Amino acid sequence: MALGDKSFFTPFSTLLNIFKKTLTVAYPKEDINVHGRPGASENYRGMHTNDLEVCIGCGTCSDVCPTAAIVMQDTGEDETEIDPTRKPEQPVIDYGRCCFCAFCVDSCPSGSLSMSRDYIYTSPSVEEEPLTELEWKVNKFTIKPDANHEEEKSWSSEVDLAWLDYVRSEMELYSPAKRVQSFIEIVQGFSREQALKEAQRCLECGICTRTCPAHMHIPEYIRAIYDEDLKKSVNIMYETNPLPAVCGRICTHKCETVCALSHRGEPIAIRWLKRYAVDNVKDEDLREVATKNKDVVKSNGKKIGIIGSGPAGLAAAYYLCGMGYKVTIFEKHPKAGGTMRYGIPSYRLPDDALDREISQIEAMGVEIKLNCEVGKDKKWEILKEDMDAIIIATGFPHGRSTRIDKTNNPNVKLAIAMLNKIRLGKEVDVHRKIVVIGGGNVAMDIARSMARLQKDKFGEVDITVTSLESREEMPADDEEIEEGREEGIVFQPGRSPLEVKIEDEEVKGLEVCRCLSVFDENGRFSPKVDKKVRECFPATMVIEAIGQAADYSFLTENEQNLLNIHRGTLMIKDGYQTGMENVFVAGDIVNGPDVIHAVADGHKAAQEMDTWFFGKRELPLKKAPLE
């Protein structure tokens, strides 16, 4: 008998299902379980979780949010004290706005923000007064996400799926075999397409601005490059840096090390974008924006003398001229530029880029007296009489010796002097086997310069670079070391030099031993060596590139004491003023060797000097539009 047919028993046929498992999910006793464990799917987009240790406060989530639900909340930390790679801000999410689209997660550069499988958040009304109830509820649904839902983490952004472009656009370099043959510039610069592609990666978070010593408006000028308005871009650069083309080549780019994208990918090539903008802007546009303040402020009759035409001197001169001062720079070499011209090899910074930059500064009205060494061609006392104020920006013109045994041999040389000679075009001794002592950028410069000369003379490169620091600790830029290795230079890091081996007044090699650590626990320089593990690098020439020293020989001893020199650098009072009333200092002698620090110093010294003369004042300067 079929029960399904219409019969007396038909209504009872449902009893057959009585022991079947029901389809109903008796929430909240149980939950659906179709993904291996009860609850939402494995990549559900529920409440946010934010790893506050990793969050850098860049605000990209807030910018990208389509419902304006994310606000960056100040954490109340002091900007100067926290880690420079982040801003003192953290996102707060309004669940009265959020639509759980996960745009914020997909565009989080550090990957700290993710979403969880938790999604239940309900609240009854509790307040009496309707308006307070409204405000209370909006606050109740506004949550600062932290690592609360960490265990239920689900939707998170993977590097290859994220919306951000973590890969730099390719920069064309000459091949090692080709570039080692001459002093031609290695980096060829961005093309328009490459620059636009690179510029559009910028998140405009502004973390870089705070880290840059000169506080250049980096997001703004990258935006101008993206808008293909190079004139505006260069205009913004000249607000804080009158040497953008130089910095676009040889800056130590601290900005790139803190770039928001650097946490999970390659940082924006800020340096090369800057170089692209300055190299490609039209000459007349460059002249117009560089000299826009030339006649805005009336001349105030004050005469300023600047000793040294390095980056600090030039920057100070540029901004002082813009403020109405009459500025004269004294330079002992036949051309202006200081270390930029006579220290840095031309494969990194070619002369024409430097000349273009200096010509803008001269067009501003700065007088540069070449071949005029203070103390020799121009007496310090006379200079002091002539000028209303003086800025010493002499930098570090001398190299330092390791002071190990037997360095007095003529074939043991100092790197700075050698680089000077090469750049001046003088004949330099080149040997077949050379050892360079040092792990900084100067060591790289001299090693790679000598490699080019060796290749030219003998057709092969045989240079060993040895340093106290291990490979990771070496202060030189990574790309410098990598490029040097490609050009055939051998690196022997982690070794301390003991003595130069000399037989019959001829250099035969360098004796070294293992260096265990360079810095002590407090970060102070005190190398620990193991003298049992010895080694000898055979060579007929040793070059020392372990540091640079200043030259104050034009001052009297009494005046040198007033400068308050401590371990080679100056301890200055606030305002870049020295013990002598009208003598200011700027550049390497204050902050150590670094071009962008020098530029920043020059700018600040100029401003401080203006304050010293006239007090705090607002000048009617033409500012670049930053928006």
Partner 1 sequence: MKDINELIKKFNSFFQEKAVLTRKYKQQYQIVTGRDELLGILNWCKQYSFYHLANIVCVDWLEDEEFELVYNLWSYEFKIGCLVKIRIPRARPWAPTVFELWGQAQVYEQEIHEFFGVYFPGNPDLSSLFLHNWHDLPPLRKDFDPVEYSRQAYTVEGLGVKPEYEKEDNSEGRES
Partner 2 sequence: MKKNVYMTNLRDERQNAWEGILNYFRKRSMWMLYYCTGCGAVELPPTMTTRFDMERFGMGPMATPRQADLLLITGYLSVKTLKRVIRSYEQMQDPKYLVGFGSCPINGGIYWDTYPVINHLEMFLPVDMSIAGCMPRPQAILDSFEKLRDEIQEGKAVGYKRYEKHYDWYKANQDKVLNREDAVLQPWEDPFADKPTLEALQAGEKMEEGEDK
Contact partner at residue 499 from partner 1, partner 2, none, CB < 5 to 8 Å by partner kind: none
Contact partner at residue 100 from partner 1, partner 2, none, CB < 5 to 8 Å by partner kind: partner 2
Calculate ∠ Cα 454-458-459, nearest 5°. 90
Contact partner at residue 132 from partner 1, partner 2, none, CB < 5 to 8 Å by partner kind: partner 1
Residue among 18 and 131 whose Cβ is closer to partner 1: 131
Contact partner at residue 523 from partner 1, partner 2, none, CB < 5 to 8 Å by partner kind: none
Beta carbons of 319 and 304 less than 8 angstroms apart: no
Q: How far is the CB of 163 from partner 2 (least distance, A)?
A: 19
Based on the shown chain and the rule CB under 8 A, indicate whether residue 525 belongs to the binding site for partner 2.
Answer: no
Contact stretch for partner 2 (CB under 8 A) within 18-26, 274-282, 314-322, 575-583: 18-26
Based on the shown chain and the rule CB under 8 A, indicate whether residue 138 belongs to the binding site for partner 2.
Answer: yes
Q: How far is the CB of 239 from partner 2 (least distance, A)?
A: 35
Q: How far is the CB of 396 from partner 2 (least distance, A)?
A: 58
Residue among 27 and 525 whose Cβ is closer to partner 2: 27
Binding mask 134-173 for partner 1 (x = CB under 8 A): xx--------------------------------------
Options 83, 129, 504, 505; binder of partner 1; rule CB under 8 A: 129
Options 131, 161, 522, 567; binder of partner 1; rule CB under 8 A: 131
Amino acid at 273: L
Pairing label, strands 389-392, 70-74: unpaired
Cα separations in angstroms, 334 against 312, 341, 342, 418, 624: 18, 11, 10, 17, 34
Residue among 68 and 621 whose Cβ is closer to partner 1: 68
Q: Give which of 624, 622, 619, 623 is closest to 323, Cα–Cα.
A: 619
Contact partner at residue 561 from partner 2, partner 1, none, CB < 5 to 8 Å by partner kind: none
Q: Give which of 197, 171, 210 is closest to 88, Cα–Cα.
A: 210
Tokens matching residue 169: 């656009």
Site for partner 2 in 65-104 (CB under 8 A): 66-68, 94-100
Q: For 340-479, list the strands marked E by DSSP.
A: 367-369, 389-392, 398-399, 412-414, 434-437, 463-467
Q: How far is the CB of 261 from partner 2 (least distance, A)?
A: 29
Q: Up-side HSE of residue 506: CA atoms within 13 Å toward CB?
A: 8
Q: How far is the CB of 47 from partner 2 (least distance, A)?
A: 8
Options 1, 2, 18, 26; binder of partner 2; rule CB under 8 A: 26
Based on the shown chain and the rule CB under 8 A, indicate whether residue 120 belongs to the binding site for partner 1.
Answer: no
Based on the shown chain and the rule CB under 8 A, indicate whether residue 425 belongs to the binding site for partner 1.
Answer: no
Which 8-state DSSP code applies to residue 267?
A: P
Residue among 97 and 254 whose Cβ is closer to partner 2: 97
Beta carbons of 391 and 609 less than 8 angstroms apart: yes
Contact partner at residue 122 from partner 1, partner 2, none, CB < 5 to 8 Å by partner kind: partner 2
Residue among 98 and 247 whose Cβ is closer to partner 1: 98
Contact partner at residue 124 from partner 2, partner 1, none, CB < 5 to 8 Å by partner kind: partner 2
Q: How far is the CB of 627 from partner 1 (least distance, A)?
A: 19
Q: How far is the CB of 131 from partner 1 (least distance, A)?
A: 5
Beta carbons of 251 and 257 less than 8 angstroms apart: no
For residues 55 and 446, what is the distance between their CA atoms, to the nearest angstrom?
A: 41
Beta carbons of 414 and 399 less than 8 angstroms apart: yes
Beta carbons of 216 and 256 less than 8 angstroms apart: no
Based on the shown chain and the rule CB under 8 A, indicate whether residue 126 belongs to the binding site for partner 2.
Answer: yes
Q: What contacts 398, CB < 8 A, 6 or more positions away?
A: 414, 416, 417, 548, 549, 550, 551
Tokens matching residue 117: 């499988």
Contact stretch for partner 1 (CB under 8 A) within 83-91, 116-124, 132-140, 356-364: 132-140
Options 15, 31, 192, 571; binder of partner 2; rule CB under 8 A: 31
For residues 54 and 264, what is the distance between their CA atoms, to the nearest angstrom?
A: 11
How many chain residues interact with partner 1 (CB under 8 A)?
6
Residue among 128 and 504 whose Cβ is closer to partner 1: 128
CB atoms within 10 A of CB 596: 24
Based on the shown chain and the rule CB under 8 A, indicate whether residue 174 belongs to the binding site for partner 2.
Answer: no
Based on the shown chain and the rule CB under 8 A, indicate whether residue 131 belongs to the binding site for partner 2.
Answer: yes
DSSP string, 174-207: --HHHHTTS---SB----HHHHHHHHTT-----H
Based on the shown chain and the rule CB under 8 A, indicate whether residue 67 belongs to the binding site for partner 1.
Answer: no
Site for partner 1 in 1-30 (CB under 8 A): none
Q: Give which of 233, 298, 311 is closest to 593, Cα–Cα.
A: 311
Q: How far is the CB of 38 from partner 2 (least distance, A)?
A: 10
Q: Give which of 194, 344, 172, 169 is closest to 277, Cα–Cα.
A: 194
Strands across the sheet containing 541-544: 412-414, 541-544, 434-437, 463-467, 489-493
Which chain residues interact with partner 2 by CB under 8 A?
23-28, 31, 40, 47, 66-68, 94-100, 119-126, 128-131, 133-134, 137-138, 141
Which chain residues interact with partner 1 by CB under 8 A?
129-132, 134-135
